[in-house]
A = this chain, B = another copy of it.
Amino acid sequence: MSSLIGIDWGTTTFRAYLYDQSSTYVDRISSAAGIMQELHPDFENILYDQIGSWLTRYPSIPIIASGMITSRQGWVETPYLACPASLENLGKILTAFRLHDGRDIHFVAGVSQQHPTANIMRGEETQMAGLASRKPTLAVLPGTHSKWIWMADECISRFTTFITGELFTALTERTILGRLITDQKDPTSFRLGVEEGYYSSSRTGGILSQLFGARAKPILGLMQPDAVYDYISGLLLGTEVKEAVELGVEAQIRPLVCGSSALVTRYQKALQICGFKVSVAEQDSASTGLYRIAVEAGLLAR
């Protein structure tokens, strides 16, 4: 018997899960109907377009949603839970919104941090709820804005967001560096980039000058033009790991990496090149997390 619909609604993707009596979903819908797909989206209509058949078939089961759908650009802006943010408390402050058919959709809160630096997340808190059973000390969630999240006693204690993914896209699509780029897999230049980013020093300079090196090297015949894409990718990831280490990530920490497989592979390799042992999590942490938060919230009949 189905018990819950969970929705992971992000900037570029829409994912819905139908659960039985456990956190393992029995059906799943995934599409490109992210919140940025349309200029002025009618989110309720999109919801019915995407999962109308479930809504009709199960008229009374609860719905829970998280991700960028809860942001200012989304459907219903939910509050932020301040760090340290317990996963239990995430279940206590859902924001309910009544649909036209009279049923509620329950939106998860984001998590914010003011110290040591201002930071926000929407969606990743749900992933952390899904990963909690693995009791990670540090989770790394790669993406457009990759997040490194410290956990203690089922609390998000602090986190850092790196703009790496978005910067990579902007650099390769919108700058002079992109002219040299082909998307060819080159593990050697990826490794070189990670090493130069991670072990950057007074000899090699920092990321702002290293990025120009990615232009100068092929022009001087020191690097194949084909290698630039992976070199820049490595350079940015090596720099991200270096910055994380400067923020207190120590060598004996074993980060738990969770995300889409291509990105996880890149992050896993980069972390290993920098001397870390890495654990990799299943991709569906958001679906597990949605179920977990619904349970904490008492949305499910016990």
The chain A residues found within 8 Å of chain B, CB to CB, are: 72, 80, 112, 114, 116-120, 145, 160-164, 166-167, 169-171, 173-177, 201-213, 215-217, 219-220, 222, 236, 239-240, 242-243, 246-248
Contacts and interface: CB of A to CB of B under 8 A. Distances in A.
B204 A116 contact: yes
Given A116-B204, A167-B171, A145 B243 contact: no
Contacts of A215: 120
B167 A119 contact: no
Contacts of A175: 163, 166-167, 170
A208 B240 contact: yes
Nearest to A196: B117
A212 B162 contact: yes
Given A206-B242, A208-B240, A212-B163, A220 B174 contact: no
Contacts of A145: 212
Contact of A203 (B72, B116, B161, B206): B116
A25 to B, nearest CB: 30
A209 B161 contact: yes
Number of copies: 2
Contact of A213 (B117, B203, B210, B243): B117
B114 A204 contact: no
B216 A246 contact: no
B166 A176 contact: yes
Nearest to A176: B166
A120 B220 contact: yes
A209 B162 contact: yes
A208 B239 CA distance: 8
A134 B285 CA distance: 62
Contacts of A220: 80, 112, 114, 118, 120
Given A120-B219, A213-B118, A202 B248 contact: yes
A161 B206 contact: no
Contacts of A247: 202, 205, 209
Given A112-B216, A167-B167, A205-B243, 9 more contacts: A72-B219, A117-B216, A119-B216, A145-B212, A163-B212, A170-B175, A205-B246, A206-B239, A207-B207
A242 B177 CA distance: 23
B160 A209 contact: yes
10 contacts: A117-B203, A120-B216, A161-B212, A163-B177, A167-B175, A167-B208, A173-B174, A206-B242, A206-B243, A209-B247
A13 B232 CA distance: 29
Nearest to A172: B170
B119 A213 contact: yes
Contacts of A242: 206
A87 to B, nearest CB: 21
A114 B171 CA distance: 23
